[in-house]
């Protein structure tokens, strides 16, 4: 299609110069005809800006989708570093893509070695989703593997909604390019406003029904959870299946530079992971993780205290993510710091109807981290392969996923089947949509077959943040948990008990209205690329941090904890910890400067 388009451009140029030869009196008329916008009469109604003014502006520059949708079904390869699935996209989303664009999607995920192999082949794919906008993303740019979105005016013509509404994200992407101006894509979770923040996914969830049985003991600080959890385990030693219960059940699958659960505990106090430091979003300063009395060491002591009391699942270091999820689903663990790893797993219809559930309980001194909407987009990049045969089609698909309908489809399924808008212009979930949210194995109806989960979008990325304002939703966001329609639905016995005691309708209201939250500003900051020497040190320090952190979690007593910690610090410094931390502190200054720039705009 790109070849056809370039041929058309050549023809137009020839027409232009031919007209000049006819005579100067026709020059102006010829210029106007050459620059006349592409015909948009048959443009897909679903790919439209969200208001009349921007629609008119976009239509002046957009190409017709009818011209690029293939006569015969084609298969596009989507190389996604974010996907947990490999194979053909199935189910309801496959049908939507087929109906709208006459395409099938072949999802290729990225286990170790796949990126290098595809780079060597000279073709990453048609649509490419990067897990980060750092090393491998830049390797792809340097190798000429990514499409320049302004080439042949593809963005303006076939990405009109993106072009109209995501300029900040596009400018950020350009700034990451070697020349500082070429656009190769945009980052995920784009925010509609920097003054808003996303939904909380960090907060301490506890088995509220068991907490109530203890008489709602006061929690002033982090360590106050320990005796409460100890009493819960004593009173309820067995899970639904008869397994031993614990305060927490962890896993190591998501460990990166640090142990995930250890660094994440700092989020309850406003600390964000930042290399080998934790960045305090309230003071805009970075705290090295091995400093005396650092938040990271405090977190290690917390988990070790649970272990010493027999309250930590002893399989935490060796079990998988799925194992830990099963433990929470089974009611074998009573406390977690992530909504999706505790509350969302345990709070099934069967549990909550019996008055059982995990709900938020913050300590008095907590400032739980949440992320401000990032108008520049996050670090997971939407891009298009430089060697695709269908650049316009790829752009049109990404553009559709960026429209209000595309965002809603990505989140909730087919419009008119699982969701729609009511007479007041506000979104609601249909009965089927509510059922699918409660149980993703729910079977689809009408023109769609299979279970809802079969059709969930397998490339695993988003365009707009679900907490952004939906321009077609009468002032509401894309997040169904805050829709008027959803909050008017009948609640469960367990949730009502939590609401009655706290006086709040949701955990987000609870955290915001009590002032126990911190916002990590969506400034668009990205860490600089590390050089090879630093990368070598970094990898060694990371392994040292992770292995010794787990040793500390499993220390048999305080004396052993202190011995391991002393050895840990000595080993880390030997690998280059101080050099890595110094680099992190320099990056923290840059992050603060970007945040200050954003604050100055408010």
Q: What tens digit of pLDDT does each residue of 118-143 get?
A: 999 999 999 999 999 989 999 999 99
User: What pLDDT, on the 0 to 100 scale, is given for residue 65?
Assistant: 86
Higher pLDDT, 585 or 36: 585
Could you read off the pLDDT of 491-502 as tens digits, one per residue? Answer: 899 999 999 999
Residue-level pLDDT at 198: 86
Mean pLDDT of all residues belonging to the chain: 89
Q: How far apart are CA 568 and CA 330, in angstroms?
A: 36
pTM of the predicted structure, to 2 decimals: 0.69
Q: What is the mean pLDDT of residues 186-209?
A: 92
The pLDDT value given to residue 199: 87
Q: What is the pLDDT of residue 62?
A: 62
The pLDDT, as a whole number, for residue 488 is 82
- Which range is least confidently modeled, 291-295, 481-485, 505-509? 505-509
Q: What angle do CA 335, 336, 339 make, to 5 degrees?
A: 125
Rg of the chain (C-alpha set): 27
Rounded to the nearest angstrom, the gap between the alpha carbon of residue 577 and the centroid of all alpha carbons in its chain is 29
**Out of 259-268, 399-408, 475-484, least confident range:** 475-484
Which backbone phi and psi does 597 adopt, to 5 degrees? Answer: -60, -45
| Domains parsed from the chain with CATH numbers | 65-193+376-481 (3.40.190.10)
- The more confidently predicted of residues 114 and 38 is 114
Express each pLDDT in 400-459 by its tens digit. 999 999 999 999 999 999 999 999 999 999 999 999 998 999 999 989 999 999 999 999
Handedness of CA 399, 405, 411, 412 (dihedral sign): negative
pLDDT mean over 85-106: 98
The pLDDT value given to residue 26: 36
Which whole number is the average pLDDT over 293-313?
98
C-beta of residue 176 within 8 angstroms of C-beta of residue 526: yes
Residue 3 CA to residue 457 CA, distance in Å, equals: 31
Q: Residue 262 and residue 246: Cα distance in Å, rounded?
A: 17
Residue 27 has pLDDT above 90, yes or no: no
Tell me if residue 336 falls in helix, strand or coil: strand
- pLDDT at residue 602, as a whole number: 67
Q: How confident is the model at residue 366 (pLDDT cuts 50, 70, 90)?
A: very high
Give me the mean pLDDT over the 70-81 stretch.
97
CB 440 within 8 A of CB 450: no
Per-residue pLDDT, 66: 87
Is the pLDDT at 14 greater than 50? The verdict is no
Candidates 392, 354, 346; CA nearest to 147 is 392
Strand partners, 420: 428
**What local confidence, expressed as pLDDT, does residue 567 receive?**
98
Say how many Å lie between the first and final Cα of the chain, rounded: 44
| pLDDT tens digit sequence for 152-174 | 999 999 999 999 999 999 999 99
Length of the chain: 602
For residues 577-597, give the mean pLDDT.
96
According to the model, what pLDDT value does residue 33 have? 29
Q: Out of 19-33, 112-126, 154-168, 345-359, which region has the weakest mean confidence (pLDDT)?
A: 19-33
**Rounded (10°) CA dihedral 3, 6, 10, 15:** 110
At 576, is the pLDDT very low, low, confident or very high (cuts 50, 70, 90)?
very high
**Rounded-to-10 torsion of CA 527, 529, 533, 536:** 70
Name the E strands within 452-542.
Answer: 517-520
pLDDT confidence tier of residue 226, bands split at 50, 70 and 90 = very high
pLDDT surpassing 90 at residue 50: no
Paired strand residues for 371: 520
Q: How far apart are CA 82 and CA 382, in angstroms?
A: 11
Residue 304 is predicted with a pLDDT of: 98
Q: What are the phi and psi torsion angles at 369 (to 5°)? A: -75, 135
3-state class (DSSP) for residue 140? helix
Q: What are residue 97's phi and psi, to 5 degrees?
A: -65, -40
Q: Would you tell me how many other CB atoms lie within 10 Å of the CB of residue 119?
A: 15
In terms of Cα–Cα distance, which of 85, 83, 602, 580 is closest to 289? Answer: 580
């Amino acid at each position: 299609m790109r070849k056809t388009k370039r041929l058309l451009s050549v023809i137009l140029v020839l027409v232009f110069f031919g007209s000049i030869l006819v005579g100067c009196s026709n020059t102006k008329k010829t210029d106007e005809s050459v620059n006349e916008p592409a015909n948009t009469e048959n443009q897909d109604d679903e790919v439209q800006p969200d208001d009349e003014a921007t629609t008119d502006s976009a239509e002046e520059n957009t190409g017709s989708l009818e011209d690029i949708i293939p006569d015969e079904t084609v298969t596009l390869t989507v190389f996604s570093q974010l996907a947990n699935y490999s194979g053909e996209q199935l189910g309801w989303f496959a049908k939507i893509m087929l109906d709208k664009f006459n395409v099938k999607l072949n999802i290729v995920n990225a286990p170790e070695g796949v990126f290098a192999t595809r780079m060597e082949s000279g073709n990453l794919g048609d649509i490419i989703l990067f897990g980060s906008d750092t090393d491998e993303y830049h390797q792809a740019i340097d190798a000429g593997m990514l499409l320049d979105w302004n080439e042949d005016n593809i963005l303006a013509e076939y990405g009109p909604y993106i072009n109209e509404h995501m300029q900040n994200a596009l400018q950020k992407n350009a700034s990451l390019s070697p020349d500082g101006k070429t656009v190769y894509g945009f980052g995920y979770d784009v925010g509609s406003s920097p003054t808003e923040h996303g939904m909380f996914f960090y907060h301490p969830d506890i088995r509220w029904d068991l907490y109530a049985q203890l008489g709602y003991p006061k929690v002033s600080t982090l360590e106050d959870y320990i005796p409460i959890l100890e009493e819960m385990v004593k009173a309820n030693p067995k899970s639904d299946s008869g397994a031993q219960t614990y305060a927490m059940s962890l896993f190591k699958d998501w460990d990166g530079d640090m142990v995930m659960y250890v660094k994440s505990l700092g989020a309850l106090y406003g600390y964000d992971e930042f290399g080998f430091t934790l960045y305090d979003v309230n003071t805009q300063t970075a705290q090295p993780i091995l400093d005396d009395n650092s938040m990271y060491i405090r977190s290690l002591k917390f988990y070790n205290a649970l272990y010493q009391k027999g309250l930590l699942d002893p399989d935490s270091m060796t079990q998988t993510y799925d194992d830990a999820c099963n433990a929470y689903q089974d009611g074998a663990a009573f406390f977690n710091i992530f909504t999706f790893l505790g509350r969302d797993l345990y709070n099934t219809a069967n549990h909550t109807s019996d008055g059982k559930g995990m709900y938020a309980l913050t300590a008095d001194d907590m400032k739980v981290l949440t992320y401000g909407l990032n108008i520049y987009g996050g670090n997971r990049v939407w891009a298009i392969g430089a060697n695709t045969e269908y650049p316009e089609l790829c752009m049109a698909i990404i553009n559709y996923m960026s429209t209000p309908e595309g965002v809603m489809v990505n989140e909730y399924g087919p419009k008119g089947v699982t969701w729609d808008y009511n007479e007041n212009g506000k979104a609601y979930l249909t009965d089927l949509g509510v059922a699918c949210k409660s149980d993703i194995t729910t079977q689809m109806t009408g023109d769609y077959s299979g279970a809802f989960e079969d059709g969930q979008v397998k490339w695993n990325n988003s365009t707009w943040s679900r907490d952004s304002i939906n321009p077609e939703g009468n002032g509401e966001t894309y997040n169904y948990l805050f829709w008027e329609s959803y909050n008017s639905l009948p609640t469960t016995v367990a949730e009502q008990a939590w609401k009655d005691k706290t006086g709040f309708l949701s955990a987000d209201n609870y955290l915001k209205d009590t002032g126990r939250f911190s916002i990590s500003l969506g400034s668009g900051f990205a860490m600089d690329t590390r050089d090879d020497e630093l990368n070598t040190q970094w990898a060694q320090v990371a392994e040292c941090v992770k292995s010794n952190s787990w040793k500390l979690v499993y220390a048999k007593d305080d004396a052993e904890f202190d011995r391991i910690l002393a050895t840990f610090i000595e080993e880390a410094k030997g690998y280059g910890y101080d050099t890595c931390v110094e680099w992190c502190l320099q990056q923290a200054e840059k992050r603060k400067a970007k945040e200050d720039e954003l604050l100055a705009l408010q």
